[in-house]
Amino acid sequence: MPRLRKKTELCVGCDLCSMACSAHHSRSFNASDACILIDEAFPSPGAYKIRYCTQCVTHECVTACSFDAFKLNEELNVWVIDRALCVGCGACVTACPHDGAYMEPNGRYALKCDLCGGHPVCIDVCPKEVLSLTK
């Protein structure tokens, strides 16, 4: 199963990964509408926390969903959210132990990394090579 890996210590907080992600998925440049979020690691100035779905083995978000909105992408072996089936209840967000699922800004559906079909755009735009894809 491919996974995103990060070298957090290299992150400069530019948010290019979030912007590319939101542009790819929602055709907008809005970091709050992305499947990867960069937070300042307060109180350490210049330190950042990179949040995204780690494609964990427990899949607690999938189990928490009462609406079968999660579908397995069998080619990549990762769980993705079918936005047409998601009712925006937030159960998956609450259930995620890794802080890797979020609600889109209007609360209509949940967001989580789907690896962009195997070619994550966040990797391509990162000027510091913080992110990489492992198999």
DSSP 32-84: GGSSSEEEE-TTSTT-EEEE-----SS-HHHHH-TT--EEEETTTTEEEE-TT
What are the C-alpha distances in Å from 106 to residues 23, 54, 59, 110? Answer: 17, 24, 25, 10
Cα–Cα nearest to 92, from 106, 107, 102:
102
Domain range list for the chain:
3-129
Residues in the chain with pLDDT < 70? Answer: none
**Nearest of 53, 63, 61, 56 to residue 113 by alpha carbon:** 53
pLDDT at 130: 97
Q: ∠ CA 99-127-76 to the nearest 5 degrees?
A: 50
**Please, are residues 111 and 101 in contact by the beta-carbon 8 Å criterion?**
yes
Class of domain 3-129: alpha beta
Q: What is the pLDDT of residue 32?
A: 87
- Whole-number pLDDT of residue 40: 87
